[in-house]
Amino acid sequence: MASNYNYPEDFLAWFIKGENLAIITTKGSTDGSTHSKLGDWKAIDESVTDGILIHYESEPSSISISASGDYSSTYPDVDNALHASLIDYVKYRLYQDKAGLSPDGNIASIAMAMAQSHEGKWNESVRRYGMKKRDKTGGPRRVMPADLR
């Protein structure tokens, strides 16, 4: 069923509470009962198939553990600019494990230093410069003035 909203932006709004998306409307009757009248926020009043389009940041798909151990055609579900960073993350965690398990204080401190080195590279590539590395925006820009109609 198609929507009856000609200008949904004039009536509808959304917000998030926890794990839930709320779709609300100000549409209502002019002589309606209390809090159901035009202008009051309430639940959306229409059933529309595929009426809501959500744009979101998603979690990359996880890699299934293969019983045969064949990962030769499996790629991480992120931009290839970030693939090498995964090596740094795994090494950082493995060096941490090594530092925690080693009975030798010297080995533990060297392992901890290596863990910090790889953690630094991971943080730099993903947190600090991650946006720049995978951002595909380029070229000249044009400023669009706000529409004040």
Partner 1 sequence: MPNRLTVKQIISRIKQVFPNVPESYMVALINEALVEMGKYSNTKIEYAKANSVADQMWYTLDDANSSISVNKVYRVDFMNADGDYIKIPRLLDSEIQKMDLV
Q: Enumerate residues 33-52 that contact partner 1 by CB under 8 A.
A: 35, 40-52
Does 80 help bind partner 1 (rule: CB under 8 A)?
yes
Does 15 help bind partner 1 (rule: CB under 8 A)?
yes
Segment contacting partner 1 by CB under 8 A, of 70-78, 102-110, 140-148:
70-78
Residue type, 130: G
Cβ-in-10-Å burial (0-12, 13-18, 19+) of 111 comes to buried
Residue 32 Cα to chain centre, angstroms: 40
Q: Residue 107 in 3-state DSSP? A: helix
Q: Considering only residues 85-124, where is the footprint of partner 1 by CB under 8 A?
A: 85-87, 89-91, 93-94, 122
Does 63 help bind partner 1 (rule: CB under 8 A)?
yes
CB of 87 to partner 1, least distance (A): 5
Cβ-in-10-Å burial (0-12, 13-18, 19+) of 91 comes to middle
DSSP for 87-105, please give it. Answer: HHHHHHHHHHHHHHH-S-H
Among 29, 30, 31, 70, indicate the residue that binds partner 1 (CB under 8 A): 70
Among 29, 33, 53, 105, indicate the residue that binds partner 1 (CB under 8 A): 53
